[in-house]
Structure 1
Amino acid sequence: MFTLVVQIDEELNRQPLLILVCCFILGILFQDYFSFKKNCILIVAIFCFFIAIFTLIKSFLISRIYSVILGVFFFGLGICVNYLNSPEASPVFLNPHQDIVFKISKKLNSTEKNKKYEGIVEVDQRNFSSVILIPKESKELDFKHYYKAKAYLAEAQSPEFDFQFDYARYLSRKNIHYQCYINDGISSSLRNDLTLGEKIRQSRLEVLQNINQSKMSSKSQEFLKGIILADRSGVDSETLQDFNKAGLVHFLAISGTHIVIIFGLLYYVLMRFLPLRFRKGVIILSLIFIWIFAVFIGFGNSVVRSCIMLSVYFIYILLQRKPDLLHSLALSAFIILVIDSQQFFDVGFQLSFLAVLGIYWLNQSILKLLPKPNNFFKKIFFNTVSISFSAQIATMPLVVCYFHQFSAVSIIANLFIIPFSEVIIVFSFLMTVLLAMKIDFWMFDTIYDFIIDVLLKSIHWFAKFESLFFENIPMNWWEAGVLFVIVYLLRFVVIKLNIKNFTQFTIAVFLFFILRISFSIFEESNNEILVHHYKKKNVLSVKSGTDVCFYIQNFDDQMKIQQYIIYPYCTSRRVKNVLIKKLPDNTGKVVFNKKVYELK
């Protein structure tokens, strides 16, 4: 116990903020799992209050005890903050058919049949957040109108089985419990009570509309909206699939790379026109601009994280202190989670921070393995290789655990695409600025179209290496946890290959395979028969060992059934052989092993 306290104290001395933020996150997870009620939270809050008082008399405490007490304080703080950010209770409506008045708060990615928005809905003088779906051919909604329509209110339902994505839980973390389906008959009235945030979102929407009216091709328009304005709602499924298979989705979505490049562009331009003595002023102006830009595009997790990290980094520079990447990362995570602790459960948040941690942990070690560059271009190339590889290795366990897929070609694709990203992002940013001012040059449109066409064709070429794209990979959190340990130990093997480091790494790898084989044997020993519901049809699955047979009535929906039922089930149950059989459309019951299963 004494040794553990010493280790915690040493870590706190090295990276105090990072360790305390980890304690804070553990508190968030603890409250999310146990869901303590008001009385328990009050006790925790009082306990944290007394700890805060004791920290004021640090000089009277032993350093080691002080470190542990501080960790406990942040753990309790995480519990309290997550309680305050917990989703509200769902409103109850006895009649699903309602006349609603609503305003939109966010545009979401469209489906095949509907446009989707998040909005504030009023029913019977009660206001609540909801997902709003309207027919795809309907006119685009905006932020400067109230809308009125007759809607069907459907409460988001949790899935029947553990292998399915819990969309209801995902929505509830955003305090959304209902989906409103509107077919037609939407009337509108102009608002005169727009908040500052809504005015900014409306301005962004108008810029998006300006891009739609440009002479560029539709694919270039959607790429431009995604890479600069964080709007991927109109990107076609084929393009998304290509980015996914090539492992380049992070390039399409605005991230830290984009923010750094835009910051660098503004800093470079200002320094060309202002004397060197104004360097501090240029840094401050550039930081102010990226924060304005972050507000304009909607405060995404990766954007806010990048802005905070850049701000902290350059504050260190301005104060003439040595910057610390982990301090910047921890501070940005703490600020985001204090504002909204539910953000921790967002996949984008987790991947964003893991990628930076991976770069911190592995980048320099990998660079040392590469040849020493003797010119500027080699230096850029080797840095791209090491940064890309570090980020992918660090995020790989989480990607496989959440999405059950991995693109091996992404390592090669990133080497070819990322070096040109700076040019593409800068050009895209300038195009967005021009179109925002309604300046549309035919020549610029043509050049941009050509560049994006070459880029998309290159990504499509990488995506065709389907043998290097692995999907439906079984993976649970225990296996992912051991993979993270392997990634952690990899650094020591790369830095110094000795018996101790190699043995620890090898033991972790063996433990991973032991776990994997054990879970596979466990699933193989389980036989089950399930009835899955999809729309108005039911699907029967009969599993025996590593084989499963699905009985489907409507083959017209087979692709969707495969996507939402068959693939997730086979991944979860580690099935190797799949057979799909068709049942007559009028089948109402199936008798199997003397047991009746209803299909209608």
Structure 2
Amino acid sequence: MHKQPLLILCICFILGILLQDFVSLKLRYIYMLLGFSFVMLGFYVIKNFYLHRFRHISLFILFFSLGIIAHFLNSKKPPLPDLKSKENIVFKITKKLNSNEKNRRYEIVAWKEKQPFLSVLSVPKSEADLNFLHYYKAEAYINPLQKSYSDFQFDYAKYLSRKDIYFQAYLPNSFRSGLRNDLSFSEKIRQKRLESLAKIDRANFSKRAREFTKGIILADRTEMDAETVQDFTKSGLMHVLAISGSHMAIIFWLILLILKSLFPPGYRNHKIIISLILIWAFAVFIDYGSSVVRSCIMISAYYISVVLQRKPDLLHAMAVAAFSILILDTNQFFDVGFQLSFVAVFGIFWLNQPILKYLPKPKNNFQNFMVNVVSISFAAQIATLPLVIYYFHQYSGISIIANLIVIPFSEIMIVFSLLMTVLIEFSLHLEWLDQIYDAAVTGTLKTIHFFADIDVAFFKMIPMTLPEVFVSFLVVWFLRFAINNFTLKNVLRISYFLLIFIVLRFLINYKALHTNEVLEHSYYKEKIISVKKRDKVQFVMKINANYPKIEKFVIEPYLTSRRAQNFEIIIISDEVEKIVINGENFDFK
């Protein structure tokens, strides 16, 4: 408690969030728990020796209770209008989302008879882009988001409900627009970002280079082609495109380096403060995504300690960032990016120095940079591996090598892309520089594609449950002690938890093997029947079914959750309206 009080209290706050999300305590019980915690807090002021020993427990209970009540307040469902399937609505956009093959997608605020509601909106690509400068009026098809029909599917409705979005809408026809005169400051910034993205779209280099630039600097991957995204995913380099801690740290150090030449040596604190102001300005400009805000808070907390002449503490900075985000919105904890970024930072803190002991001693700054790239990559990947497999059920065995080769070059590309973005923003076009940049991006993408093409190192449909994740993190925890001090005792600790993991996995696999079931699945209007008998699954679908999409969104998730690999597809004619399986009728109309 004395070494990391804020981190421990933050963990208690998070445990309260998790309990409330799982149990949904009613308000009267929350008040009772909060009252009890304040009574317990009295141990801090009571001088009785026996009661004073429990003062830390009282703080733990208080922050645990605050986590519960904060999540209760953040999870309240807003009042929603009664909407028909087809409505005339007025709306404005709040965020641009990733496009699909046919539509551009946005998050919007819409009104029906002056009652607001949030929705995801799809607009055909044949229509003009929407922006923040206009209100729009149109007749839209609106549907409430439906809860996932099965436990193995991603619950998109729950994911959006954490952002108070309960509807999805589609505009089949054209719409009317009117200029707004009530743009907020944040909306003006977002519109300016859209204009900057449009300028990059008109830049004199290839489409893939333009999309790469928008992704790596302005955090916009909405129009990036599926093949490029798949290459980054399969190579384990998706974090290169995500504006995260490494990007913000590089930009911060670059600003600091520029300011170093402008300020005399005695103005160190001024340079740090100006650099912090500028990275926050950059964060606001790129729409202050959650990963960007997390990075800025951690960098700010770390360097404010430097300015105040206190010893910088990475865990303290991490706790400050987590508290700052969760107090405003407890639902951020359930964001995958939130979890991965904090686990990665903790992994770097926990494993980086032990790993460095086994690497060659650097003799100059370049060698020191390369050695730290290796150790940080290893530390972050080891720590995040359980979560990556749990959420995405896939892992690239080539990712460690790919990271070691691509990350040093990607840091140069971040600086280069930032320079090109600034030049484009001020309409400064140097043809020779455009060509060099285009070639550099093309080379980077080809290198990533090379790693992604090594299919033998890419594993997908890897099942992982929360108990397995928990035991995996215990292995990561004790790994530090074994690396630091390779003794029999420390090796046995890791071996013990590895054995628990193997036994746990065996039991879960055994249960899945002996589960026999017949389920009805749906993908839009298409129906699919799965018949599972021990380790074999049969999928029944019509001949004109959209197999690639069904495979991605139904078959693979089901097989992963049921830990089955052996399956076959049974095709039936379009004329078949009913089939009988195990005495149960299934309608295919």
TM (norm. structure 1) is: 0.96
State the alpha-carbon separation in 2 of the partners of residues 225 and 61 from structure 1: 61
Higher mean Cα deviation, 291-300 or 570-579?
291-300
Letter in structure 2 aligned against 1:582: I
Residue equivalent to 1:440:
429
Taking the aligned partners of 1:264 and 1:147, their CA distance within structure 2 comes to 42
1:178 aligned onto 2:167:
yes
Name 1:7's counterpart in structure 2.
none
Are residues 1:521 and 2:510 paired?
Answer: yes
**Which residue pairs with 1:486 in the alignment?**
475
Partner amino acid, structure 2, of 1:279: R
- Is the deviation greater in 37-46 or in 493-502? 37-46
Query: Cα–Cα, structure 1 residues 462 and 47, in superposed 2: closer, same or farther, change >3 Å?
Result: same
- Say whether 1:110 aligns with 2:99: yes
Shift of 1:261: 0.7
Opposite residue 243 of structure 1, the aligned amino acid is F
For the pair 1:139 / 2:117, whether they are aligned, the reply is: no
AA at the equivalent of 1:66: R
Q: Aligned ranges for residues 28-427 of structure 1 at < 5 Å? A: 28-50=17-39, 55=44, 64-89=53-78, 91-93=80-82, 95-427=84-416
Instruction: Tell me: CA distance 1:192–1:521, structure 2 relative to 1, closer, same or farther (3 Å).
Output: same
Secondary structure of the 2:539 match is strand
1:541-593, Cα deviation, whole Å (9 max, x unpaired): 11110100111114451000000100000000011201012110121111122
The offset of 1:92, in angstroms, is 4.9
Structure 1 unaligned spans of 5+: 1-11
Which residue of 561, 566, 575 maps to 1:586?
575
Cα distance, 1:542–1:379 mapped onto 2, change above 3 Å: same
1:558–1:221 Cα change, 3 Å? same
For the Cα contact (< 8 Å) 2:127–2:174, is it kept in 1? no
Structure 1 residue 61: Cα displacement: 7.8
| Range with greater deviation from structure 2 (428-437 or 537-546) | 428-437
C-alpha change, 1:86 and 1:259, in structure 2 (3 Å) is same
CA distance in 2, matches of 1:65, 1:376: 49
Mapping of 1:11-22 within 5 angstroms? 12-22=1-11
Partner letter of residue 317 of structure 2? S
Equivalent position of 1:508 in the other structure: 497
Instruction: Tell me whether 387-396 or 413-422 shows the greater mean CA deviation.
Output: 413-422
Q: Is the 8 A contact 2:43 2:51 kept in 1?
A: no
Shift of 1:62: 5.5
**Candidates 501, 521, 527, aligned match of 1:538:** 527
Residue identity opposite 1:548 in structure 2: V
Q: Does 2:556 correspond to 1:567? A: yes
Q: Is the 8 A contact 1:121 1:129 kept in 2?
A: yes
Report Cα offsets for 1:204-230 as digits up to 9, x if no partner. Answer: 111111111111211111111111111
* Closer, same or farther: CA 56–134 of 1 in aligned 2, 3 Å: farther
Give secondary structure in 1 for the equivalent of 2:2: helix
Conservation of the 8 A alpha-carbon contact between 1:531 and 1:599: no
Unaligned runs of 5+ in 2: none
Amino acid at match of 1:558: Y
CA distance in 1 between partners of 2:278 and 2:437 (Å): 25
Q: Give the corresponding residue for 2:15.
A: 26
How much is the aligned-residue C-alpha RMSD, in angstroms? 1.6
* Structure 1 residue identity aligned to 2:97: L
Query: SS state of the match for residue 425, structure 1?
Result: helix
Deviation at 1:460, TM superposition (A): 0.3
Q: Which sits farther off after the overlay, 343-352 or 62-71?
A: 62-71
Q: Which residue of 2 aligns with 1:6?
A: none
How far did 1:45 drift?
A: 3.8
What amino acid is the match of 2:206?
A: S
Give the letter aligned to residue 16 of structure 1.
P
> Offset of 1:93 from its aligned partner?
2.6
Report the CA distance between 1:439 and its aligned residue.
Answer: 2.4
In the alignment, the residues of structure 2 paired with residue 582 and residue 146 of structure 1 have an alpha-carbon distance, to the nearest angstrom, of: 48
Partner-residue secondary structure (3-state), 1:276 = coil
- Give me the TM-score of the superposition, normalised by structure 2: 0.97
The 5-angstrom pairing of residues 538-557 of structure 1 reads 538-557=527-546
Q: Is the 8 A contact 2:43 2:54 kept in 1?
A: no
The separation in 2 between residues aligned to 1:554 and 1:426, in whole angstroms, is 51
C-alpha separation in 1, matches of 2:118 and 2:230? 31
Distance in 1 of aligned mates of 2:304 and 2:51: 32
Equivalent residue number for residue 475 of structure 1: 464
Contact kept in structure 2, 1:530 and 1:542, CA below 8 Å = yes
Aligned length: 589
State the identity %. Answer: 49
Distance (Å, rounded) in 1 between the aligned partners of 2:518 and 2:336: 32
Q: SS in structure 1 opposite 2:131? A: coil
The residue identity in structure 2 corresponding to 1:262 is I
